[in-house]
Amino acid sequence: MKSFLLALQFLTRIPVSIKGSVDENHLKMSVLYFPIVGILIGGMLTAIAQLEYYLPYRVAMVIVIASEAALTGALHIDGFADTCDGFSGGRDKNRILEIMRDSRIGSIGALGLTILLLLKLELLSALPRTLVSETVFIMPVFSRSVQVLICRFTQYARKEGKAKYFIGFKENLPPLFAVIIVLSCCYVFFENYSFSIIGIASAPVIAFVWRIKNKIDGMTGDTIGASNEISEITLVFTVLVLSVIGIL
């Protein structure tokens, strides 16, 4: 239970009370529960998305996006902005990591953040209304499952930092659990197309992570945050494209 509460505390701003001491093993195993937290976030966003029946469609989608940022404390959005700044302003690993650690947002980070939010809004707004609830639910489940796989199969790019307890763990249960959870949730809504949706949406994320790893020899909390945002974008984009061509 401690590991689950730690995952909830780390990934959301939901008030959590953890009694007793917390050790390194609790922190590492909390990764197992990332997809479960994604389900909770997805459920909340799906409920909020029902505002589409009472408000203008785009307004409802703005509220969905804002609600996710509020639920997570804009944790991953901040990581995306820092990653944009770091990789635009640094030529070598040390300089990139130094820029990403700076709490101030730069011009490229602000531009990247603006494009990200506008793109997410436009993609969600372009979805057929019959697919909005399903997509909004799967979106955070997929992105949090991606985080688990990244943490398992990459290493930490820094010597010290908060994310070192999550990145580079060796247990195989969390990634297996994450794959089962996201495919199961996707199958509930999209049935036989679930494998195609997850596979197509994963491809750009894999390319992004590969690029990051080659540049700074691993991942950081910021780049995992960026991966989370890219995962959500690619998931919504995949559903939209498959709906446009008549598969969904």
| Residue range 88-103, pLDDT digits in tens | 987 889 999 999 988 8
- DSSP state at residue 30: G
Count of beta carbons in the 10 Å neighbourhood of residue 162: 11
Which residues neighbour 51 within 8 Å (Cβ) at sequence distance 6 or greater?
A: 59, 60, 63, 64
| Residue range 28-82, pLDDT digits in tens | 889 999 999 999 999 999 999 999 999 999 999 999 999 999 999 999 999 999 9
Report in angstroms the alpha-carbon separations of 221 from 18, 165, 185, 188: 23, 10, 26, 31
Inform me whether the pLDDT recorded for 140 exceeds 80.
yes
- DSSP state at residue 156: B
Burial class (CB in 10 A: 0-12, 13-18, 19+), 213: middle
Question: What percentage of the chain exceeds 90 in pLDDT?
Answer: 81
Burial class (CB in 10 A: 0-12, 13-18, 19+), 243: middle
Confidence of residue 122 (pLDDT cuts 50, 70, 90): very high
pTM value?
Answer: 0.95
How confident is the model at residue 116, as a pLDDT?
Answer: 97
Cα four-point dihedral sign 113, 87, 235, 4: negative
How confident is the model at residue 47, as a pLDDT?
Answer: 97
How confident is the model at residue 38, as a pLDDT?
Answer: 97
Burial class (CB in 10 A: 0-12, 13-18, 19+), 201: buried
C-alpha dihedral (197, 200, 204, 205), degrees to nearest 10: 50
How much is the mean pLDDT over the chain? 93
CB 231 within 8 A of CB 201: yes
CB 31 within 8 A of CB 174: yes
| Residue range 195-244, pLDDT digits in tens | 999 999 999 999 999 999 999 999 999 999 999 999 999 999 999 999 99
Please give, one letter per residue, the 3-state secondary structure of 31-48. HHHHHHHHHHHHHHHHHH
Q: What is the CA radius of gyration of the chain?
A: 18
C-alpha to C-alpha distance for 61 and 51, rounded to whole angstroms: 9
Confidence of residue 168 (pLDDT cuts 50, 70, 90): confident
